[in-house]
Each structure stands twice: as structure tokens, then as C-alpha cells.
Amino acid sequence: MFPTGGKVKDVHTPRICDVVWHNGKFIKWSDARVHVMSHVLHYGSSVFEGIRCYATKRGPAIFRLREHMQRFLNSAKIYRMDHEWTIDDFIEGSIELVRRSGLEQCYIRPILFRSLDEERPAFGVNPFPNPLACYIGAWDWGKYLGDEAIEKGVDVCVSTWNRLTPNSMPAMAKSGANYMNSQLIKMEALLNGFSEGIALDDRGYVSEGSGENIFVVSNGIVNTPPLSSSILAGITRDSVIQICRELGITIKERSIQRAALYIADEVFFSGTAAEITPIRSVDRITIGNGGRGELTTKIQKAFFEITAGERQAPGPWLTYVREQKARAADRETAGATENGRGSAVKKSGSSQNTPTMETELVARAGR
């Protein structure tokens, strides 16, 4: 049974990659299935990531891929999800997935979860008896808070739901279970006519949105809540901090009172899905001039120039998919040339072809 009415609005998904990376192999989207009794469905035992791939003149470019995958590994470590995949397995798998998708831009979703051993099923809270499964999917996803939101901003509310306390659920882990809290925040906001909700932490200070970090601009200073306010350490948040430093804008991490939102000059969200989205009102109180502010505009402009490959990033933030493929092909060619040298090698029968990206992934995943 599906809900009806205006409350179901979500981002339009025009295209989905028809293959999925699964435990080191590529399978059809339609074959990516989970048993209904899997541990993850009953107890929320999953960690995941959200990564954007942008269209550039040099082809599809994945934004801060290594940093996202490191956070993915960190989340798994916090939840004692011991596995044998490496960060390079996930990086190479994502690159190959985008290449196979044919999409110029997309959203990449790695997820690691506790599944079910059908021969020896375990149904209790104890997660250890359950095997791990890992998938990476991709689809073309639009602007998370709407196409107009990037320019005109969104109307948000302060949620009645607080963010989880740090010693109840670890905010540093991007886990599926944490997003039940996010769903409560999001649903409340939508039902009350807002695009998004802002949660406070257990002390009453500003934390973050249901799926976004938040920045508050006052008197030319950009402020953002610290990690101690039960926020996720956002990759886009970190990008905004570095962009501010590059632009000579003062940026501070500090605790922010709820009332500071109402009297701020500018407020904006950051996130992989939301990117840089201005906030024009909080609890129906207009922020600044009721639109995208001056500093938000500067930061947003720099961010989109970087993701389009038109501006030098503060670090190696873009992974160009086609160029990675070309480098892999160069390695294969070099390997084939090396294997072709000397008749003695051929006669001994020890000639060996350089493995492709896919066979390398399968081999590592099967260790």
C-alpha cells in the first residue's frame, strides 16, 4: 500500500544504472535482492554513503570519492562490521560502475549491511552470526530540495525531534538506523508545510537538518555547529570550510543557539544531495532578505565551479572516470607488452595477462 497526496514528493529519478556492484562483482539491478528475514530489515544494521558524480568537460567526475569511502570504512568499523574489502576496492568499483552506467552525472550509493545466512539463520539482536553484504548502486538524481531551491532557497522549521545523543547512537557513523531519526524530522517538516527540518542536539543547540549540515552567517562570519553537536562529519561541510578559507571568509565551528537562526544574515544547508542550498525562512521567520545571501552566493558559486571542473579545488577532489579508465587501459597495455618480451618467457609457459579491473575486484573480494 502506497501513501497518496502531496506528502510523497521526492526527487525525480530519470535514469538508474542497470548494474550494481555486489561483493566485488557486477550484477543486474533486477538481481540485487535481499531476503525478507535479513538482519538489516529488522534491526537497521547498515552503513552507507552518498556520493555525487558531476558532468564536466572532461567527462563524469566523482566528487571526493576517497574521502567518502574512508568515512564508509569508518562507519563500518564503529559498528564492528569486519570485512576484507579495501578502500581501493570501493573506489575502483564506483569508478567502473559509473563507466558502465553511461551516465554523465549521477548519485552513487554504497551500502554495507548484515544479511542472512539461509542455511544457518540467526534472528536475534546479536549481529555477529549474520554475514555482511555490500552493494554499490547509481542513479541520476536531481536537486534534493528542488530545482529552484539552489537559487531561491527553502522554508524550514526547527523540529520537535532532537538529534540522538552521542553516547546513544554514534553520529559519526553514517548508519541506516540513524536515519529513522531523520525520517521523523523530515516527515514532521513536510506535514507542516516546510521543505526540511532542523534538529537541535540534546543540549538545545542547533545540530543539523535531516540529511544536511547547516551554516549560519552573521556579521560576515560563517558559523557551523561542531562535531560535539551530534552532527555527521559531512564531506560537503568540510568542502565549504575549505572553500571559505580559500575565499578569505572567516569560518568558525561553534555552538549555535536556536534564536541565532532567526536573526542571522544568511543560513544555508550543505550535503551531497542538498549541495549548497540557501534557507530563506526558519519557523516562518524571514532570514536576511528572504533569499540567497551574498556569502552563500560566493560559496555556492565556488562549489559549483569546482564540481564542474572549472575551478581549482583546494585538493584532489574530482576523480575523472574516463581518465581512470584510460590509465587502467595503459596499465593493461604495458603489462601485455611486458609479457610479450623474450621468447624464453613464452616457451616456459609462464606468460600471464594483466587482469582487468573487474577481475582484480573479484579476486580481492574473494580473499
Which residues are annotated as catalytic?
174
Question: CA quadruple 275, 280, 281, 287: dihedral positive or negative?
Answer: positive
What is Dmax (Cα atoms) for the chain?
A: 81
The residue length of the chain stands at 367
Q: What is the DSSP letter of 175?
A: B
Q: Closest Cα to residue 213, out of 238, 229, 185, 234?
A: 234
Give yes or no for a contact between 68 and 142, defined as CB atoms under 8 angstroms apart.
no
Spell out the residues 6+ positions from residue 8 whose beta carbon is closer than 8 angstroms to its own.
Answer: 2
Cα-Cα-Cα-Cα torsion 141, 142, 145, 148, nearest 10 degrees, comes to: 180
Residue with cell 554514534: 170
Helices (H), the chain: 39-43, 65-78, 87-101, 149-152, 178-191, 235-247, 258-262, 294-307, 321-339, 343-348, 357-365
Residue 316 to residue 2: CA distance in whole angstroms:
43
Q: Closest Cα to residue 298, out of 221, 243, 241?
A: 243
- How large is the angle between the packed helices 65-78 and 235-247, nearest 10 degrees? 140
3-class secondary-structure state, position 218: strand
3-class secondary-structure state, position 113: strand
Q: Which amino acid is at 131?
A: P
Q: How many CB atoms lie within 10 A of CB 8?
A: 9
Q: Which amino acid is at 234?
A: G
Spell out the residues 6+ positions from residue 31 whose beta carbon is closer than 8 angstroms to its own.
Answer: 20
User: Phi/psi at 206 (nearest 5 deg)?
Assistant: -60, 135
